């Protein structure tokens, strides 16, 4: 049996630098949907009970069609999901979640954060120090897994509230030393 | 759990049925136009079918997904009782996803299983199937373990599955894992030739309303209603009701084997803390399945009886899982299952209680250890016509089991060794040990080679030890074959040698091959006993003995190719050779198992997205002849056309078994079989 195994193995072509699949953004898209599910916005953030939940993306769209696919298939409670790819002149306060990606230049990032300050917009980023700069939630990749850090303080400032599944997960990551920033 | 739900959702039968379908279409179209406004005209291209749907994962699952992965990455948990991937499984695994079931047009679990390589699925009549893996097929096939959400559904009566009471809401299926070969190490005694593990979605992933219904000439009418909601932030639930009415199969004598079932149930997932999940789920079903039975008769030796078998049952399951860390968790599960079936010659009530515990922990830097124990208690009560069938007085069966398995990383990302053993104590043969050794080698992230040697046993079932069944075989003189039980019957044994290779050749093409050679000992052969002749009747008794050996060998090959982002084809080929060697003096039919499973089987599927809202699927299936029961080979085809006019609505038309007006797949044993007919049905699914 072992002999056969080795015989088969030796015939297998060696693929030194075989291409790997990177799923960072599909995973982040999945998280965005979960984050939408587990965040409370004030009623005033929506025109009515059935109004769409709007996820905005500024800068280049790294998600491909993933977010559109989510919008097509999913809802948050009874609300449909709408995806907006914002151009520089668009008003970011119309969104409930604003994704500020790596491609957004630091000055544009600061401007976006400033534009939605005090409005019920959940600011999601993926750059170091995003939360310190005023963001609400920030993705990072650690040990081949996508994780996030979040700030309840910043969320409060924006007028949104995280539900317990998000907070619990972060608490566990903090306990495990995955998230190190301490939150008061 | 709130289970009052659904009586109102169950669609009443009769003449209204065909109108029901039309009504559902109209209602759904109205709802669709109403929700068109906020659907926004989104013209994005369809996402390739092979891409994982991360939006269907919850937070917990997302946090465990690897960012950079080798391509062989379909999640399975059956192989080692913990979540792993196909590429890292040292076993022959095939995963049928919920989406594959939807696109195949399958309306039942047996139909869905036709997609898997190495699985023999043959319909006996409208509600009966013969299903096995790697041979030994019959209605009472006894070498397969089938589980639905952790609940074992084979009956200790004969060690097989009553497929006509196993059902779920197909839209709620997360995946069906099909493991060919012995999975006995971690799953138990009946996992001799394979394990089928049906896993439904978490309640959090089935939120909202789902209404689906339709009908056709064979699928005369069906309807499903499911509602998923939330109780606070930590608790999700779903409740469902389901009904179907299937037409009779083809027979020259017009046998009424039509089949009607109602079923309702639900599931509740509660996550009281970050690391604990409590799941409570349950089902109740009640229905009738027509059949024509052949029973002994004092006057004319045998007569046929038109029967409507009454099937009632239910189950409640409670599972508590705790996650200690990424490498460690435990789960404690309890369930109660009740089945009742009643027909002219047989009444059976069975109560089963089962408790199961498993614990995974890292044991040293390179060892991933999993261990567990279980206890099952099953009691039956029979009410039979002893002239035909007798099981003796009701009996209680106890089964104790324990397992331990260690996955050893010999070289990180390269070489793994899995050692395991299952220990069990049953009422018939006492203590049994079933060890296995598996090696996995992943030379590159896109390739894996595995090999396994395992021992498994098929412990005796109740009918092997205590049984009496008279089959009329000739009129002059009146002669009966009487199959009896044998208290000295021992476990059937096998040692299986397996070898497999998987490769993700390119991003769009992957293939998988598995070779197997199980060596069987102490297989069932029937031994004729001294004839009994109270004149004028002649009775030929036979008892099961372990006087047969055998070996099977074969190969299973699957491939999947994403030709374009919108077009995917997949194919499976299975070859199987069975050789049985009964000792001299055993009954003539002992080696019939050689010719009851097809030598060659081919399955081909093409899934084509015609436009972003339109799908076209083609399934072609070839099954070789079954020489022992004179079933000729056949080729058949299913087609499906699906249209999604808006986000919430899907309409599909499915044609099944299109190449022949009727097709024989298997024959009956105690009942007369019928043939599968060409069928067309329409289905409307509305999800909000």
Q: How far apart are CA B395 and CA B377, in angstroms?
A: 11
Test the B interface: residue of A18, A30, A149 with most B CBs within 10 Å: A30
> What confidence score (pLDDT) does residue B24 get?
46
Which CA distances in Å does A81 have to A73, A162, B39, B182, B574?
Answer: 9, 18, 9, 46, 45
- pLDDT confidence band for B413 (50 / 70 / 90): confident
From B422, B503, B491, B432, select the one nearest B461 (Cα to Cα). B491
Task: Give the span between the Cα atoms of B199 and B281, in whole angstroms.
Answer: 13
Question: A52, B439: Cβ pair inside 8 Å?
Answer: no
Predicted local distance difference test score (pLDDT) of residue A175: 78
> Is residue B89 a contact partner of residue B215, using CB atoms and an 8 Å limit?
no
Give helix A24-37 / helix A66-73 axis angle, nearest 10°: 40
Query: Is the Cβ–Cβ distance between B238 and B231 less than 8 Å?
Result: no
Q: What is the DSSP letter of B595?
A: G
Of residues A175 and B559, more confidently modeled: B559
Q: Please give the torsion angle defined by the CA atoms of residues B412, A15, B605 and B594, in that order, rounded to the nearest 10 degrees.
A: -70
* Cβ–Cβ below 8 Å for B445 and A26: no
Residue B13 clears pLDDT 80, i.e. is over it: no
Residue in the block written with tokens 């000439």: B217
Indicate yes or no: CB of B271 within 8 angstroms of CB of A165. Answer: yes
pLDDT top residue among B52 and B545: B545
- Dig out the tokens for B52 from the structure: 């994982």
The mean of the pLDDT values for chain A is 82
Pairing of strands B634-646, B649-656: antiparallel
How many residues in chain A? 184
How many Å apart are CA B120 and CA B114, to the nearest integer? 7
Chain-centroid distance of CA A139 in Å reads 6
Smallest Cα distance from A40 to chain B, Å: 11
State yes or no: pLDDT of A85 exceeds 60: yes
**Tokens 């060696």 -> residue:** A14
Pairing of strands A79-86, A53-58: parallel
Mean pLDDT of A86-108: 87
* pLDDT at B227 exceeding the cut of 60: yes
B332 has which bridge partners?
A: B320, B357
Do B659 and B635 touch, CB atoms closer than 8 A? yes
pLDDT tops 80 at residue B185: no
Range from A35-39, A154-158, B181-185, B430-434 carrying the lowest mean pLDDT: B181-185
**What is the residue extent of each domain of chain B?**
51-549
The residues facing B480 across adjacent strands are B472, B539
Q: Domains, chain A, ranges and CATH?
A: 22-172 (3.40.50)
Strand partners, B214: B222, B683
Note the pLDDT of residue B82: 63
B94 to chain A nearest CA, in Å? 21
Nearest neighbour of B59 by CB, restricted to A5, A8, A166 = A166
> Which segment of A148-157, B217-226, B258-267, B371-380 scores lowest on mean pLDDT?
A148-157
Q: Which pLDDT score, from 0 to 100, does residue B70 have? A: 56
Short-list B155, B190, B162, CA closest to B492: B190
The number of C-beta contacts closer than 8 angstroms across A and B is 138
- Taking alpha carbons only, the member of B399, B524, B527, B544 closest to residue B467 is B544
Report how far residue A162's alpha carbon sits from residue A157's, in angstroms, rounded to the nearest whole number: 12
Neighbours of B79 (CB within 10 A): 25
pLDDT at A86 over 50: yes
Asked whether residue A115 carries a pLDDT value surpassing 60, the answer given is yes
Q: Is the pLDDT of residue B76 over 80?
A: no
DSSP-based three-state secondary structure for B63: coil
The residue that leads in pLDDT, B36 or B366, is B366
Two tokens, residue B576: 């199987």
Enumerate the residues of chain A whose CB falls inside 8 A of the CB of residue B205: none
CATH number of B51-549: 2.40.170.20
Q: Do B65 and A69 touch (CB under 8 A)?
A: no
Structural tokens at position B445: 């992230």
Is B499 within 8 Å of A4 when comparing Cβ atoms? yes
Residues of B in contact with A82 (CB under 8 A): 38, 40
Percentage of chain B exceeding pLDDT 70: 89
As a whole-number percent, the residues of chain B with pLDDT over 90 amount to 66
Q: For residue A15, what is the DSSP state?
A: -
Question: Strand pairing of A53-58 and A97-100?
Answer: parallel
| Residue of B603, B601, B599, B613 whose CA lies nearest to B641 | B613
What is the complex's ipTM, to 2 decimals?
0.78
Instruction: Name the residue of chain A whose CA is nearest to B645's CA.
Output: A72
Give B497→chain A minimum CA distance, Å: 8
Q: Which helix (H) or strand (E) holds B26?
A: helix B17-39
**Stretch B1-24: mean pLDDT:** 39
pLDDT at A17: 39
SS3 B271: coil
Contact B166, B151 (CB under 8 A): no
| Cβ atoms of B129 and B107 closer than 8 Å | no
Tell me the pLDDT tens digit for each residue of B469-479: 988 888 778 88
CB atoms within 10 A of CB B540: 18
Q: Which residues of B touch A39 (CB under 8 A)?
A: none
What is the reported pLDDT for B71? 52
Classified as helix, coil or strand, B317 is strand
Distance CA B182, CA B210 (A): 38
Beta bridge partners of B281: B267, B317
Burial class from Cβ neighbours inside 10 Å (0-12, 13-18, 19+) for residue A60 reads exposed
The residues, any chain, with a CB within 8 Å of residue B26's CB and separated by 6 or more, are: none
Residue range B121-145, pLDDT digits in tens? 999 999 999 999 999 999 999 999 9
Q: Give the list of residues 6+ apart from residue B352 with CB closer than 8 angstroms, or none.
A: B335, B336, B337, B338, B376, B377, B378, B379
- According to DSSP H, which parts of B489-560 are helical? none
Tell me whether residue B623 is exposed, middle or buried, using C-beta atoms within 10 angstroms of its C-beta: 0 to 12, 13 to 18, 19 or more. Answer: buried
What whole-number distance in Å separates Cα of residue B297 and Cα of residue B454?
47
Question: Would strands B415-426 and B395-411 be described as parallel, antiparallel, or unpaired?
Answer: antiparallel
Residue of B nearest to A22 (CA): B68
pLDDT at B69: 64
Distance CA B496, CA B520 (A): 8
Across the interface, of B42, B63, B501, the residue whose CB is closest to A68 is: B42
CB B64 within 8 A of CB A145: yes
Statement: residue B576 has pLDDT above 90: yes
Most confident of B388-402, B495-509, B541-555: B541-555
Q: Which residues of B touch A5 (CB under 8 A)?
A: 439, 441, 449, 451, 499
User: Is the pLDDT at B40 greater than 50, yes or no?
Assistant: no
Beta strands in B153-275 (DSSP E): 173-180, 194-200, 208-216, 219-231, 235-246, 259-270
The mean per-residue pLDDT over the stretch B619-627 comes to 96
Band (A60; pLDDT cuts 50, 70, 90): confident
Of the candidate ranges B102-116, B176-190, B393-407, B592-606, the one whose mean pLDDT is the lowest: B176-190
The per-residue pLDDT of chain B, averaged, comes to 87
Beta bridge partners of B528: B542
Looking at the complex, report in whole angstroms how far the Cα of residue B52 sits from the nearest Cα belonging to chain A. Answer: 9
Which residues on B lie below 8 Å from A171 (Cβ)? 274
Element (H, E) at B559: strand B538-564
Cα B263–B138–B424 angle (5° rounding)?
80
The reported pLDDT for the residue numbered B20 is: 44
Tokens 């002149």 correspond to A89
Task: Write down the pLDDT at residue A107.
Answer: 84
The Cα B280–Cα B272 span in angstroms is 13
**Total residues belonging to chain B:** 688
Over residues B558-575, mean pLDDT: 92
Q: Do B67 and A74 touch (CB under 8 A)?
A: no
At residue B515, does pLDDT exceed 80?
yes
Residue B676's pLDDT is 97
């Amino acid at each position: 049996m072992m002999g056969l195994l080795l015989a088969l193995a030796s015939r297998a072509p060696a693929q030194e630098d075989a291409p790997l699949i990177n799923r960072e953004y599909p995973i982040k898209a999945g998280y965005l949907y979960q984050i939408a599910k587990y965040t409370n916005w004030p009623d005033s953030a929506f025109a009515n009970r059935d109004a769409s939940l709007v996820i905005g993306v500024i800068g280049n769209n790294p998600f491909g069609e993933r977010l559109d696919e989510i919008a097509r298939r999913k809802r948050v409670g009874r609300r449909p999901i709408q995806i907006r790819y914002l151009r520089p002149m668009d008003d970011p306060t119309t969104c409930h979640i604003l994704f500020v990606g790596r491609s957004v230049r630091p000055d544009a990032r600061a401007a976006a954060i400033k534009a939605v300050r005090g409005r019920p917009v959940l600011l999601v980023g993926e750059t170091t120090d995003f939360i310190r700069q005023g963001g609400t939630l920030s993705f990072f990749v650690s040990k081949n897994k996508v994780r996030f850090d979040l700030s309840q303080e910043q969320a409060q400032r924006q007028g949104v509230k995280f539900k317990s599944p998000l907070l619990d997960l972060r608490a566990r990551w903090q306990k495990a030393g995955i998230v190190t920033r301490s939150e008061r | 759990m709130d289970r009052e739900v659904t009586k109102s959702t169950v669609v009443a039968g009769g003449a209204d049925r065909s109108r029901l379908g039309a009504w559902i279409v109209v209602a759904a179209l109205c709802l669709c136009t109403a929700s068109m406004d906020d659907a926004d005209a989104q013209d994005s291209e369809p996402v390739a079918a092979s891409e994982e749907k991360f939006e269907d994962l919850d937070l917990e699952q997302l946090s465990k997904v690897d960012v950079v992965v080798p391509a062989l990455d379909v999640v399975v948990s059956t192989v080692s009782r913990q979540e792993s991937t196909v590429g890292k499984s040292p076993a022959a695994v095939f995963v049928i996803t919920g989406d594959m079931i939807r696109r195949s047009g399958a309306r039942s679990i047996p139909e869905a299983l036709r997609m898997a390589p190495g699985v023999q699925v043959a319909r006996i009549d409208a509600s009966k199937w013969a299903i096995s893996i790697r041979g030994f097929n019959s209605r009472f096939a006894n070498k397969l373990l089938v589980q639905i959400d952790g609940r074992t559904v084979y009956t200790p009566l004969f060690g097989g599955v009553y497929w006509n009471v196993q059902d779920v809401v197909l839209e709620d299926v997360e995946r069906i894992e099909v493991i060919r070969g012995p999975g006995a190490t971690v799953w138990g005694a009946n996992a001799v030739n394979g394990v089928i593990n049906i896993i439904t979605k978490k309640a959090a992933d089935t939120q909202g309303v789902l209404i689906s219904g339709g009908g056709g000439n064979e699928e005369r009418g069906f309807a499903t209603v499911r509602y998923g909601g939330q109780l606070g932030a930590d608790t999700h639930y779903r409740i469902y009701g389901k009904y179907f009415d299937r037409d009779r199969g083809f027979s020259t004598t017009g046998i009424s084997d039509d089949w009607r079932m109602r079923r309702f149930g639900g599931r509740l997932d509660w996550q009281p803390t970050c690391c604990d999940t409590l799941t409570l789920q349950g089902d109740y079903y009640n229905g009738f399945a027509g059949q024509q039975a052949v029973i002994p008769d004092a006057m004319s030796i045998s007569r046929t009886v038109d029967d409507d078998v009454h099937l009632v049952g239910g189950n409640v399951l409670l599972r508590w899982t705790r996650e200690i860390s990424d490498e460690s968790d435990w789960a404690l599960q309890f369930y109660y299952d009740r089945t009742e079936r009643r027909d002219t010659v047989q009444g059976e009530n069975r109560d089963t209680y089962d408790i199961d515990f498993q614990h995974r922990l890292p044991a040293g830097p390179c060892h991933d250890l999993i261990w567990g124990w279980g206890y099952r208690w099953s009691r039956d009560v029979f009410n039979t016509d002893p002239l035909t069938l007798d099981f003796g007085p009701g009996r209680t069966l106890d089964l104790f089991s324990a397992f331990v398995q260690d996955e050893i990383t010999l070289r990180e990302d390269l070489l793994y060794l899995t050692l395991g053993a299952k220990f069990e104590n049953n009422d018939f043969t006492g203590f049994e040990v079933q060890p296995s050794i598996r090696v996995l080698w992943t030379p590159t992230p896109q390739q894996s080679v595995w090999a396994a040697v395992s021992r498994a046993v098929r412990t005796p079932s109740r009918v092997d030890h205590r049984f009496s069944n008279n089959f009329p075989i000739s009129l002059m003189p009146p002669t009966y074959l009487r199959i009896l039980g044998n208290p000295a019957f021992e476990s059937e044994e096998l040692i299986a040698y397996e070898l497999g290779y998987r490769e993700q050749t390119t991003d769009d093409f992957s293939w998988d091959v598995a070779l197997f050679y199980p060596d069987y000992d102490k297989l069932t052969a029937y031994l004729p006993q001294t004839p009994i002749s109270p004149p004028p009747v002649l009775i030929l008794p036979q008892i099961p003995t372990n006087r047969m050996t055998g070996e099977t060998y074969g190969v299973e090959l699957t491939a999947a190719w994403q030709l374009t982002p919108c077009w995917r084809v997949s194919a499976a080929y299975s070859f199987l050779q069975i050789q049985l060697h009964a000792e001299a003096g055993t009954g003539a039919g002992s080696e019939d198992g050689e010719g009851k499973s097809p030598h060659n089987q081919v399955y081909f599927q093409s899934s084509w997205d015609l436009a972003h809202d339109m799908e076209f699927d083609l399934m072609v299936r070839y099954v070789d002849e079954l020489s022992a029961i004179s079933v000729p080979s056949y080729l058949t085809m299913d087609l499906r056309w699906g249209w999604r006019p808006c986000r919430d609505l899907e309409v599909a038309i499915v044609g099944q078994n299109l190449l022949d007006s009727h097709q024989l797949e298997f024959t009956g044993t105690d009942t007369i079989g019928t043939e599968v007919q060409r069928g067309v049905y329409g289905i409307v699914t509305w999800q909000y």
